Structure 1
Amino acid sequence: MIVPVEASGGLLDYAFPAGFNVDYMPLATPQVTIGSLLGTDLTIRYITLDLEDLGDLDLFGWGLRHSLNQYLTFLPVDVAIGYYNQSFKIGDYMDASAVLISLQGSYSVPVITFYGGLGIESSNIDVQYTYSREGEVADETIKFEMEGANSLRFTIGLTLNLGPVKINGDYNIAKQNTLSAGIGIGINQK
């Protein structure tokens, strides 16, 4: 379904896909973190799905996190800085990317790790599709770019450390608030 939007003065109109009428869209993504080498972890996430009419959905992200505790040994909490980059594509229709630079902290007690962070982020999205209006000969290509409204993100969360199994959940406060959860397996962890 296409939703037409009339421009000011009624001179032009634009057509946008009507969407799926959902408030949220869950997506599970496999992720691997390798480290620590000299206090640095590497995280990689990737998923690809075939969406039939739309083409492939591809999500690829990577990030580096470096511990500051090796330099600041007096700190009572674990502190790290991080850089993360992610791309998200759907066929030839959408190409989005995001970057996050963050300062992260955590404090562990038996079985629970509390964590939080402050990040500076940027994102952009390019959308392009062809609109066919009934009764007209020529198709119209709709194309636009947008930059994300987020600039600062505050994260607070906790992890349950159940031996090698880790269950985490966090809440991100930004222009667009998000809730995330995960389950993982830690190998050779302290």
Structure 2
Amino acid sequence: MDETEKIMKTIFSAVLLVTTLSVSAQNLGDLLTSGLNDAERFANAYTAPATEAVIYGLSSGWYNSADAKPLGGFEISVIGNFTGFKNKEDKRSFTLNVADYENIRFSDGSQSKQVSTALGDIEGVEILVEDSNGLFSEPFELPAGLSAEGIDFVPSGFIQGSVGLFKGLEVKARFLPKVKNDDVAIGLLGAGLQYDFTKLLPADKLLPVAISAVVGYTSLTGDFNLNDTNVVDGENQRLETNFNTWNFSAVVSTRNIPVINFYGALGYVTGTSNIDVLGTYRVTSGPFQQTYTDPFSLVNDVNGVVATLGTKLKLGFFRINVDYNMGEFNTLTAGVNFGFR
């Protein structure tokens, strides 16, 4: 495996595997011992904040100016997003109340406790899986999350291009080349439009600011092969994940300043994550020994308002931009851009 594949597999593991069922895939087997309903309920609560963070990250990076490019002007960008959650205590844990579950109890007899999400760091919480008669129980420890591994952000990255068309209109596309090996496959595609309303004015080039509307769509798809992780006996075990996001923004920026310009935006983010747990899983321990085929899917819908502040440094064909997106999750975006107007 070359260095590029290693980097992409690391990103994939952070964005896909850890944000689905567990920092360790072994926990899927533990969850299924509690029965399908309990496993699905816990997995939904555990993964939802992390998939939300991914959606906010993927929705960022669509613009670095409100000043649309003229006909034939283009820009190629390498963009990285870092969605932080260090201070998001409400996203790093959730309340597990055993009354909401059919077969799960806390080992110490507690009715409810704060437990880790896929972003959290709460470790050592032990639960018991019991049958309805209380005659059989099996303990296991709930998984912690990314913070327990010393990671307080979810990364994403892609290549993005933009081209100016007729007056005021700019088209955009983003992609991450398909990366695939024995265990991991991931790819990203997206498309967007920007329309600069100030180009409608007769003296637009003399104005100190530009105002644009931007809409962008991003789709991230990924597969992770579980067959070699010893999750639980079975065949063709895998995760298939799809993230779809939309960003609708009103953008304003300074213009005609030779070296540095500033931009800001108010936007609306909406998106959906879908994680399918596929294959055959044979649970051979605990009170609910059973075979499951394609046991469940995890779906999470996200909507929220985002405000952005950023700056762009121009050095001829070479440009650097940095912005900070403030919403339910905050995202730092950095871009290296090449092109001409």
TM range (shorter): 0.7 to 0.9
Equivalent residue letter for 1:2 = N
Give 2:266's aligned residue: 118
Give the C-alpha shift of residue 37 in structure 1.
2.2
In structure 2, the CA distance between the partners of 1:132 and 1:60, relative to structure 1 (3 Å rule), is farther
Q: Distance in 2 between matches of 1:134 and 1:18?
A: 24
Higher strand share: 1
Per the TM alignment, residue 8 of structure 1 is displaced from its structure 2 partner at its CA by 3.5
Q: Does residue 155 of structure 2 align to residue 2 of structure 1? A: no
Shift of 1:90: 1.0
Whichever residue aligns with residue 98 of structure 2, its letter is S
In the TM superposition, residue 100 of structure 1 has moved relative to its aligned partner by 1.1
Name 2:305's counterpart in structure 1.
152
d(CA) in 2 for partners of 1:27, 1:97: 14
User: What are the equivalent positions in structure 2 for 1:1-190 lying under 5 Å apart?
Assistant: 1-2=26-27, 4=31, 5=42, 8-9=98-99, 10-12=101-103, 21=149, 22-47=151-176, 48-50=178-180, 52-54=182-184, 56-72=185-201, 76-91=208-223, 93-108=240-255, 109-130=257-278, 133-135=283-285, 136-139=289-292, 141-148=295-302, 150-187=303-340, 189=341
Q: Is the 1:58–1:89 contact (alpha carbons within 8 Å) kept by the matching residues of 2?
A: yes
Q: Secondary structure at the match of 1:151?
A: strand
Give the TM-score normalised by the residue count of structure 2: 0.49
- Compute the displacement of 1:35 (Å): 0.8
Count residues with an aligned counterpart. Answer: 185
Structure 1: distance between partners of 2:265 and 2:308: 5
8 Å contact from structure 1 (residues 99, 121) kept in 2: yes
Comparing both chains, which one has the higher relative contact order based on Cα–Cα distances under 8 Å and sequence gaps of 6 or more?
2
Displacement of 1:93 in angstroms is: 1.7
Quote how far apart the aligned CAs of 1:132 are.
5.1
Q: What amino acid does structure 2 have at the position aligned with 1:66? A: Y
Give yes or no for contact 2:167–2:199 (8 Å, CA) kept in 1.
Answer: no
2:190, 2:216 within 8 Å by CA — same for their partners in 1? yes
- SS of the equivalent of 2:158 reads coil
Which deviations, in whole Å up to 9, do the C-alpha atoms of 1:103-143 show, x marking residues without a partner?
10110322001011111121111111145545344036131
CA contact (8 A) 2:173 2:192 kept: yes
Q: Deviations over 1:67-118 (max 9, x none)?
A: 1002345754111111111111112521111111111011032200101111
Cα distance in 2 for residues equivalent to 1:137 and 1:63: 47
Tell me, in whole angstroms, the C-alpha distance in 2 between the residues paired with 1:7 and 1:132: 27
Classify the secondary structure of the residue corresponding to 1:52: coil
Q: Would you tell me which structure has more helix in proportion to its own residues?
A: 2
Flag structure 2 segments of 5+ consecutive residues without an equivalent.
1-25, 32-41, 43-95, 105-128, 130-141, 224-238
**Range with bigger deviation, 116-125 or 68-77:** 68-77
**Alignment RMSD:** 2.6
Query: Which structure 1 residue ranges, 5 or more long, are not aligned?
Result: none
Larger radius of gyration: 2
